[in-house]
Amino acid sequence: MAQKKLTVGGRQITVTAAGHVSLPEGMTTVPRGAFRRHTSIVSVTCPRSLVAIDSEAFLGCASLTAIHLPSRLASIGDCAFFQCSALVRVAVPTTVKTVGAAAFLGCSSLASIQFHHPASLATIGAAAFLGCGSLTAVALPASTASLDTAAFAGCRALAKATFPPGITSVGFGSFRLTSLSQVALPTTAEIRDAFPASTAVNRIAPARMRAQDRLLFLYNGVLAYKRCRPGLVNWLERVQITQGAYGPDGAARKRDRDAFESDFGPSPRSDPPPPTPAAAISSEVSSL
């Protein structure tokens, strides 16, 4: 195969005869659709200056097996590596804050996702890793707060998933059609019909409640926990009231169980009904 010349973002880019692309230093963004369906590309080296890979940048690059993501990269756009079916592994730098919707959808050979620590990643978009059938395990970094709809759906070989204690939401169908037998999640996380019916979901209470501001639970002049939303503190087992825990009238509060009515022991928890997935993602999930 002869080498090719491409124009990307006003720059001349060479695809070597072996299918390698080396993006030039000083380039900060791979533009939307820059290498869309260039099936001759086998590997890509990114410069340290790169901070963003835009939507559909490498969509349909079916021969792409390897890409080195640089240490300053902040975002991976929607469908950035959509159906890069030969891609084997991805190492996500600590600086990446978002992985867009369908970013790696259909990367059927993807066997390894490594999140470097300490991570900045907060959100994984809808269907981001949908249909990555070779993926066997994933360990989400401590910074991860939420997974959107169908994030890892259809990863049929996925048998192990590790969640951080601070995760707050696992979206509808996030792990549909996987091989997970059990998972552990904090009681504070919302789970929206995320797992197969056969998956045992173990709910873990927070290790301890952090000290809070003395007026955090002030409600209608009452300094107590008794009006907290049901389920919010259902894991509360004991309370230690420190000096300075007084009512607004300056009198010491009653320091017994009555002041924390309804906050001890289990209380029923009802998750909100699952949202309706967007039509495109729903179509992808139903086709698995």
- Let me know: does 126 contact 278? Beta carbons within 8 Å: yes
In a domain, 189, yes or no: no
Element (H, E) at 281: helix 279-286
Low-confidence ranges of the chain (pLDDT < 50): 209-277, 280
Which amino acid belongs to residue 190? E
In a domain, 102, yes or no: no
In a domain, 239, yes or no: yes
In a domain, 237, yes or no: yes
- pLDDT at position 213, please? 40
Total structural domains in the chain?
1
Residue 154's CB is within 10 A of a number of other CB atoms, namely 25
pLDDT digit string, tens, across residues 59-83: 999 999 999 999 999 999 999 999 9
State the pTM of this model. Answer: 0.73
Which amino acid belongs to residue 229? R
Reading the block at residue 70, the tokens are: 């640089």
- pLDDT at position 253, please? 47
- pLDDT at position 266, please? 41
Q: Using alpha carbons, select from 181, 85, 99, 191 the residue that is nearest to residue 132.
A: 85
The radius of gyration computed from the CA coordinates of the chain, to the nearest angstrom, equals 24
In a domain, 166, yes or no: no
- Contacts of residue 245, defined as CB under 8 A and 6 or more positions apart, other chains included, come to 214, 223, 252, 253, 255
- Let me know: does 31 contact 7? Beta carbons within 8 Å: no
In a domain, 259, yes or no: no
- What range defines the domain where residue 240 resides? 206-246
